[in-house]
Amino acid sequence: MNSTTSAYQTSASVSPKQMSQLNNLKLNDGNEIPMVKQSLDPYGNETELGQAIKDSGVPREKLYVTTKISGTQVKNTKEAFELSLKKLQLDYVDLYLIHAPYFAKTPEDLQAKWADLEAIHASGKAKSIGISNFLQPDLEVILKTAKIKPAINQIEYHPYLQRGSLLEFQNKHGIATSAYGPLTAVVKAKPGPLDGTYEQLARKYSVTPGEIALRWCIDQGVVALTTSASEDRLKAYQKVAQFKLTPKEAEEISEIGSQKHFRGFWGNKFAADDRS
C-alpha cells in the first residue's frame, strides 16, 4: 500500500479466518473478523486475488475476504459489486466497504450509497458491510437513515494519528475499528519519539518493533490490517498472539505517540495539523 495510489484503486484482501491463539473480534452483526488481517498485495488486484484463492485449494469458509467500492468516483453500486464478485470468482464476500466518503456531493449521496450496501447485505452476498476513511460527521449522516449500522470503519490509525474522539464515537455506536497503516510509526515516520519505546518493549517481549505496533492496536480492540510483499514477514506477525502489552505500556505508547503527528494517506484531504 502506498499513499499515492492506495486512495484511488479498487481493493480486496484475504485473510485466514482464525489466527492461532488470537481471538477474532465479534462485529455488531454477529459475524467475526480476524484481529490481524493480512494481505500480500491488497490494492487493484481482485482478478489476481480471485485466481490465487481458487488455486490455493483452501476451503472458502476458512478465508475472510474483503473488498470495496470506490470512495472517490460515482459508480453504480450493484454493478460494481457484481463485477468484484466476478473478478474474485466468489459467490459472496465477508466484508464490503465504501472506500471513502469523497464521492458524495451531498449528505443524501452518502445515505443513498449506504442504502445500496444494505441491499447487498440483504441479498446475502456480503456477510458484513462497513465503511472506510469516514469521520464522525460522515458517520452521523448515514446513521440518520441507516437500517443497519456499519459493522466497521477502516481508517489510518497508529500512535501518530489517534483520530481524536472518533474511536470513542464508534464504540458508543457499536462500530468496530480496523487500522490500516498500523506500522507507520515503525516504518514510515521514523525517526520519532516512539523509536526508543518500541525498541525497549521489543527486547522485553523478544519480538520486533512492528509486532509491538500491531499489539498496541489489538490491545485496544482495533483490528490491525497489515500488508507486505513477504509471506515470511506475514507469518512472523502471528507472534502478536503470543504476548500482550500491559495497560501501562499501551498508555505510554499513546501518550508518547501524541507528541508527533503523521498522516500517511489522504493528505490532500486534510490540513497539515488536522488530527481527525
User: Quick one: average pLDDT of 65-77?
Assistant: 94
Angle between helices 77-88 and 46-56 (to 10 degrees): 40
183 within some domain: yes
pLDDT in tens, 121-160: 999 999 999 999 999 999 999 999 999 999 999 999 999 9
**66 pLDDT more than 70:** yes
Name the domain count of the chain: 1
Say which of 43, 96, 180, 237 is annotated catalytic.
43
170 occurs within a structural domain:
yes
Q: How far is CA 30 from CA 127, 151, 187, 223, in A?
A: 10, 9, 34, 16
- Does some domain include residue 267? no
Is position 253 within any domain?
Answer: yes
What's the pLDDT score for residue 250? 97
Mean pLDDT to the nearest integer, 16-45: 76
In a domain, 87, yes or no: yes
Per-residue confidence band for 4, with pLDDT thresholds at 50, 70 and 90: very low
Q: Does position 261 have pLDDT exceeding 90, yes or no?
A: yes
Question: Which three cell numbers mark 167?
Answer: 474511536
∠ Cα 61 64 65 (to 5°): 115
C-alpha cell of 159?
500512535
Q: Does residue 39 sit within a domain?
A: yes
Q: 99 a known binding residue? A: yes
Report, as an integer, the average pLDDT of 86-103: 96
Cβ–Cβ < 8 Å for 67, 11: yes
Q: Give residue-wise pLDDT tens across range 26-35.
A: 999 999 999 9
Position 105 in a domain: yes
- Domain holding 224: CATH number? 3.20.20.100
pTM of the model: 0.90
Asked if residue 22 is part of any domain, the answer here is yes
Distance of CA 1 to the CA centre of its chain: 12
Residue 10 has pLDDT above 50, yes or no: no
User: Domain residues for 222?
Assistant: 12-262
102 annotated active-site = no
